[in-house]
Structure 1
């Protein structure tokens, strides 16, 4: 693997270069493969631009080439961040891509600023508002100022829920003509389709799939599990997701190990094969109070015919039709979460199955990733077609 800005060349389709830029190659490989395939099929050369991690090799197999991004996701040091921005400005001057497709806050902001210097068109994706909008004081003010400047130039800004779009429009961070809605990141409804239950031991399984940071509601999930264990000792509360996340609010490995030793949760580690984990599950749980776009785990679980429990928060509530495909609970409230989980446990098998069937139908109708890919292809072809005229 090349580092320090060196390029990794691959055989790619001829044509204009479209860059897909995100803060992890894991994200590119797991969530943008279908878009990349559609772009390459249309004749574009697709470049992955992201910090190197364990997924670089896999990203190399699906893109025309890969460029390592030098980005510290957790940094707020002004000089370090200005250096990162300057590197991007220099790289774009050398490479001159035809179009940038950007995701995640820092990447959206910095590449919009850098691309503006050279007149390179950008399509940004606001997949939730994250930590910055939840913070108070200086961090939030700086983020708002950066968005206000950076988002003057993108040709299109995709939002994953209407509340985030309204937030940006009300704060004058984006213009009405730029701001468009997508149904989250979509989900592959063929890969995530209902399967017969893998296990047959009668154990009821709740599953939470998430990065292990506090804002995702992991602490509330554990606390709710404790509340329910006395009445439902055989119920399994499973947790799947990355440990050692580079975040100031990361949950430590020691804390997770303590919960496992206590017997309150089963930690499954991390897996790219989440479909198998869902196939062993009866209900998906995500008690997030992070400002989500539309959480992928809720879409995946619903696509597999599972009911879900999540918080009545922007992004989360868009993924669940309360009382029909799952249940909503209060954010940061383990008691409310436990009550919703208890309601699911006390339902009959037929009632839960009916809820899951409605969840699957809604996903196929509204959240199929083909809808997302089609919207992107329409915008990409429109922008690059304009550039040729």
Structure 2
């Protein structure tokens, strides 16, 4: 269960394919979106669930809890995996009420841990309640795990597991040559949120554009999403009109855009382990990221990319200038290091092996997914 079916398809495709090959029956619970069709074609059963993706609306959230309880009672799954905040909270509680084993996967702490708001305090209290019940709680980086432990949000600390990212399909995200047109493209991929550092990205472009006319700055991802930190389409249109950025819209397949880019940029305030950086590394692209939890798991400063201070357009612009001025051989060395790091540390098959271990232990059934043991 997740807040979007799209994320299940795009972030866990390899896992779903391994489960299908092993003969497992997989049910996807999420709000209906365009991913329902390909998920169904893969053999999954998709269940549409109304889910308010932001805010705390007690009546709506109780309806979600009741709906999930009924779904879990009806399907009687061997185990449920929950992803993102509301599924982790209300899905975990529903699974406990239905007496179904569950695993909570914290894909990132996001708004709840970045802002000291009433909603954030409520969400942390709900985490503390819900996380009494999962058989395991997975974290993608040690900083997120330590944040939960330091706030006493895990009643059973021994159930915490460190996954170190959700992996990347190294064959699907293979190295591709650069575009031969002589342009240098900085690309930011993700939901267009202020918390992702989109504002700093645009301000850095404003500082550098006149000095580096061969460079361009691109944004790829949904705009105006349901998130308190969302950027509006009008703001994006204004940046485009000013000539600062090119907005590429949304894409189901990001590989052509990464292949066309020279440097992937993620100036985020906090991450789990960002998928966009994993995919960029696998495709042999330099990355610029902020020195924050999640990003530092993937980018090694001066080795396969550059780290800079978060919330600073000036520092981001300096990092971009460093990349623009790199000698060709040094850039190639860093690109090769990015691919090697992806192969060494973020192979999707290791993640599939972690799922296999947990499925065997929690369900009491043996299922062979052909993954590497973590």
TM-score range, shorter chain: over 0.9
Q: Is the 8 A contact 1:33 1:62 kept in 2?
A: no
After superposition, the Cα gap between the structure-2 partners of 1:153 and 1:327, relative to the gap in structure 1 and judged at 3 Å, is: same
Of residues 177, 193, 210 in structure 1, which corresponds to 2:174?
193
The CA RMSD measured in Å over matched residues stands at 1.4
Equivalent positions of 1:339-378 (< 5 A) are 339-378=318-357
Between the aligned partners of 1:137 and 1:262, the Cα distance in structure 2 is 34
Equivalent positions of 1:137-148 (< 5 A) are 137-148=117-128
Q: Is the 8 A contact 1:101 1:122 kept in 2?
A: yes
Of residues 207, 217, 225 in structure 2, which corresponds to 1:227?
207
Of residues 90, 97, 102 in structure 2, which corresponds to 1:117?
97
Q: Is the 8 A contact 2:216 2:245 kept in 1?
A: yes
Q: Is the 8 A contact 1:115 1:122 kept in 2?
A: yes
Q: Secondary structure at the match of 2:240?
A: helix
Q: Secondary structure at the match of 1:45?
A: coil
Residue 161 (structure 1) aligns with: 141
Residue 176 (structure 1) aligns with: 157
User: CA offset at residue 110 of structure 1?
Assistant: 0.6
Between the aligned partners of 1:40 and 1:343, the Cα distance in structure 2 is 46
Of residues 228, 231, 242 in structure 2, which corresponds to 1:251?
231
User: CA offset at residue 258 of structure 1?
Assistant: 1.4
Q: Secondary structure at the match of 2:227?
A: coil
Structure 2 unmatched ranges of 5 or more: 367-374
After superposition, the Cα gap between the structure-2 partners of 1:386 and 1:272, relative to the gap in structure 1 and judged at 3 Å, is: closer
Q: Secondary structure at the match of 2:219?
A: strand
Structure 1 unmatched ranges of 5 or more: 1-20
User: CA offset at residue 218 of structure 1?
Assistant: 0.7
Of residues 331, 336, 351 in structure 1, which corresponds to 2:310?
331
Equivalent positions of 1:1-389 (< 5 A) are 21-174=1-154, 175-197=156-178, 199-289=179-269, 291-385=270-364
Q: Secondary structure at the match of 2:18?
A: helix
Between the aligned partners of 1:327 and 1:217, the Cα distance in structure 2 is 15
User: CA offset at residue 366 of structure 1?
Assistant: 0.2
Q: Is the 8 A contact 1:241 1:270 kept in 2?
A: yes
Q: Is the 8 A contact 1:48 1:63 kept in 2?
A: no
User: CA offset at residue 339 of structure 1?
Assistant: 0.3
After superposition, the Cα gap between the structure-2 partners of 1:322 and 1:304, relative to the gap in structure 1 and judged at 3 Å, is: same
Q: Is the 8 A contact 1:52 1:68 kept in 2?
A: yes
User: CA offset at residue 246 of structure 1?
Assistant: 1.7
Q: Is the 8 A contact 1:39 1:377 kept in 2?
A: no
User: CA offset at residue 170 of structure 1?
Assistant: 2.1
Between the aligned partners of 1:142 and 1:246, the Cα distance in structure 2 is 19
User: CA offset at residue 59 of structure 1?
Assistant: 1.7
User: CA offset at residue 55 of structure 1?
Assistant: 1.9
Q: Is the 8 A contact 1:222 1:264 kept in 2?
A: yes
Runs of 4+ in 1 over 3 A off after TM superposition: none
Q: Is the 8 A contact 2:106 2:137 kept in 1?
A: yes
User: CA offset at residue 386 of structure 1?
Assistant: 7.0
